[in-house]
Copies of this chain bind each other. A is one copy, B any other.
Amino acid sequence: MISPLVRIQRGDFSLQDEIDALPAGRADIGAVVSFIGLCRDEAGTLAALELEHYPGMAEAEIARVAAEAVERWPLMGLVAIHRYGLVRPGDQIVLVLAASAHRRAAFEAADFMMDYLKTRAPFWKREHRADGTLGGWVEAKADDDDAAKRWDLAP
């Protein structure tokens, strides 16, 4: 079984670099699904999001979720990168990449990784408003818990 790549970092990442780093010369990869989560600002009132995280546990928890994905699906590559610190609207926050022989496994593994990242990875977002004030902590959504629960069923 493959070793997932998990990185928690302040700086930006490049999807293309991560795809290029997938095992080259393996002609058994038929499907690569990627997810990029970006900092949104629907209202036009956001200056930045501050991402607080729990160092040590963030890596450990995402690695556990990734190990579960590798257990469930026949993956040939699995990458999860999550940023912390200040991100501006339009900036990348999170990347998940799953490679497999067939598309179903790659889609499901990436989808699963994101659902669990949302509900289990120790990160918290706080808003910095465009008017210079500090906004509130972003509230967790019941939707996300429901999404994660989908995977408790045997696939």
Show the binding face of A for B, using Cβ within 8 Å. Answer: 14-16, 19, 24-42, 44, 46, 89-90, 101, 103-104, 106-107, 110-111, 114, 147
- Taking A34-B36, A35-B106, A107-B114 as known contacts, 8 extra A-B pairs with beta carbons closer than 8 A to each other, sorted by chain A number, are A15-B16, A15-B19, A19-B36, A26-B90, A27-B90, A37-B103, A42-B101, A107-B107
Asked if A103 and B107 sit within 8 Å, CB to CB, the answer is no
Distance in angstroms from A155 CB to nearest chain B CB is 14
CB distance from A139 to the nearest CB of B (A): 15
The 8 listed contacts between A and B (C-beta, < 8 Å) are A14-B16, A26-B90, A27-B46, A27-B89, A27-B90, A28-B42, A32-B35, A32-B36
